[in-house]
Structure 1
Amino acid sequence: MTERLPMSDALFTPIPTRWVGPLLLSGEVEGEQSVPLATYESPLWPSVGRGARVSRLVAGGIRTTVVDERMTRSSLFVAPSAADAVVAARSIEARRDELGAVVAERSRHARLIDLDTEIVGHLLFVRFALTTGDASGHNMVTLAAEGLMERVLAWHPELEYGSISGNYCSDKKATAVNGILGRGRNVIAEILIPADIVEQQLRSTARRIVELNVRKNLVGSTIAGALRSANAHYANMLLAFYLATGQDAANIVEGSQGITYAEERGDGDLLFSCTLPNLIVGTVGNGKDLPTVEDALERLGCREERAPGGNARRLASLIAATVLCGELSLLAAQTNQGELMASHLLLERRQGGAK
């Protein structure tokens, strides 16, 4: 590892940032809240703004639900044989409570809540899952994994150290395991939009948006080989929100794995939801002490006195709701031929961009 430079020695790259909204929310977060988006793609601001405007016209706005939260680190052990790996795996699973005590000894906030094993040949992968309070938890789970590996190697001297991280975690990679076993905050944002608002604000209909979602996001993503992912552009909103709030931007790789669902209800009403199962976000930790980030988190209401994890859950919910706003607006635009490009050209020309 290279020596870490102090933040005071770092150079900073300015990224245009604008507060958009407010969004009207219910569920995990109640009331109205504007959100910061740092991006060079300036049309993203009015696009998310249109979704935010729709949310304020709907009773209850966007409802967010946190399904689960955990952070993972997979450690790799090398056994003499596959048979030895199986014996060790069963022993590790049987002594989960003892391993939980090891984690508690090393951290005030981390708690072991699950573990899964996978054996390939004579290689033993152990995926530890922990709660990490308000931190995203990268370093917290790595520190915990060091102690867990030491304990396992003491129990099983026949095993050898392979790696502190064996990629079964899986961090900053598009994999299936995160969606199946969980990694980060799993959040769903949903809204039910009356037919007249769909027509007036989105210049579309529920039926056209549902058809496009099936044809583009579901079928198109399938033939492209998407991995547990069916959406139009989650990564756009995620990156902009991550940069504005001091998150590890590389985590948009797994964060943008998610599914957009749309359904026509009643007489043309639109049920629209975004499921984001792998949001790796936190309100404490590296980068969060920068003045602009601190100001943003405070303005977002993520600096309140809450039980451990409460501020991070609020942040994850706000991110999911923001993703829904941008996703809804883009899909609606794409139901009308020529609207997407015309909007981009108009907005960028106003701001001195493309001519």
Structure 2
Amino acid sequence: MSVPDSTHRETVTEIPTSWVGPIRITGSSVSGEISVPLATYETPLWPSVGRGARVSRAVEGGIRTVVTGERMTRSVLFTARGAVSAQIASQTIEERFGELQEVVSAGSRHAKLLEAHPEIVGNLLFVRFAFTTGDASGHNMVTNAADALMERILSWGLEIEYGSISGNFCSDKKATAVNGILGRGRSVVAEILIPHELVASGLRTDAQRVVDLVVRKNLVGSTIAGALRSANAHYANMLLGFYLATGQDAANIVEGSQGITYA
């Protein structure tokens, strides 16, 4: 009987990469003209994004951006004797929230506890903790913090037991309504006001047609498809290209695909 060779072999998968831009951006984190790397096998993406970049450079201020939220989440799971015990535990967590903030701060220089959002299903208590994590995405950081929080909560003598360090209410790398509503990672709004003459010369259409297409395709089309907090053409294309080019966790594109285009 042959045994597969289990020796670790490191190799490299090459993905075509191109710098696109510069893109004119005005925001609190970045202001000015910057180029971005996009790694993709769908190489027509480069000139497509490049056209938008040209339009941004022709508009005063370019694309204006604002970060509306920044957090990383981890939802823990407790099992209780019943719904009453779960509710008592939920209320206790809310009442002693300051103590939990101190637990997180004592264990990490960067993680800060922002909020705890509980949900009860039968005898199951889910608690979705949200943290700031500095410049890191913070997946491991919040897991360590959640572990310390569970230990402290279980020490309070409530009628609950350990269920799981992650109860999938976080929700990590899955398209969910809770991430779109409460936020996970960075939430950003980007807007641009394009003059009529530039819409005609740079995009070869007019403003009314753009608005009509956004309503009919992005808003109505996405609604009948049952999209989860998503009404856009293809945010995922650009974000995934950027993630791959910069060494990010590409699976986060699931959440990165969520967003609304409005005109």
- 1:200 aligned onto 2:201: yes
The structural deviation recorded for 1:157 is 4.9
Distance in structure 1 (CA, Å) of the matches to 2:9 and 2:109: 31
- SS of equivalent residue, structure 2 residue 73: strand
The structural deviation recorded for 1:9 is 5.6
The structural deviation recorded for 1:239 is 0.6
Q: Which residue of 1 aligns with 2:191?
A: 190
Distance in structure 2 (CA, Å) of the matches to 1:53 and 1:156: 62
> How much identity, in percent, do the aligned residues show?
72
The structural deviation recorded for 1:27 is 2.0
**Aligned residue type for 1:18:** S
TM alignment of 1:1-355, pairs within 5 A: 10-28=10-28, 29-262=30-263
Q: Deviations over 1:183-233 (max 9, x none)?
A: 111101100001111111111111111100100000000001101110000
Q: Deviations over 1:134-169 (max 9, x none)?
A: 001100100000000000111135211111000110
Distance in structure 2 (CA, Å) of the matches to 1:220 and 1:84: 44
**Aligned residue type for 2:200:** E
The TM-score normalised by the length of structure 1 is 0.71
**Aligned residue type for 1:207:** Q
Counterpart contact for 1:24–1:32, Cα < 8 Å: yes
Distance in structure 1 (CA, Å) of the matches to 2:54 and 2:97: 48
Q: Deviations over 1:63-87 (max 9, x none)?
A: 0100010100000000011100000
Q: Which residue of 2 aligns with 1:327?
A: none
Counterpart contact for 1:74–1:164, Cα < 8 Å: yes
Distance in structure 1 (CA, Å) of the matches to 2:248 and 2:16: 17
Count of matched residue pairs: 255
Q: Deviations over 1:32-65 (max 9, x none)?
A: 1000000000000000000000000000000010
CA RMSD between the two structures: 1.0
Q: Deviations over 1:76-116 (max 9, x none)?
A: 00001110000000001111110011111111100001111
Structure 1 segments (4+ residues) deviating >3 Å: none
Counterpart contact for 2:89–2:159, Cα < 8 Å: no
Q: Which residue of 1 aligns with 2:4?
A: none
The TM-score normalised by the length of structure 2 is 0.95
Counterpart contact for 1:88–1:156, Cα < 8 Å: no
**Aligned residue type for 2:245:** A
Q: Which residue of 2 aligns with 1:295?
A: none
- SS of equivalent residue, structure 1 residue 227: coil
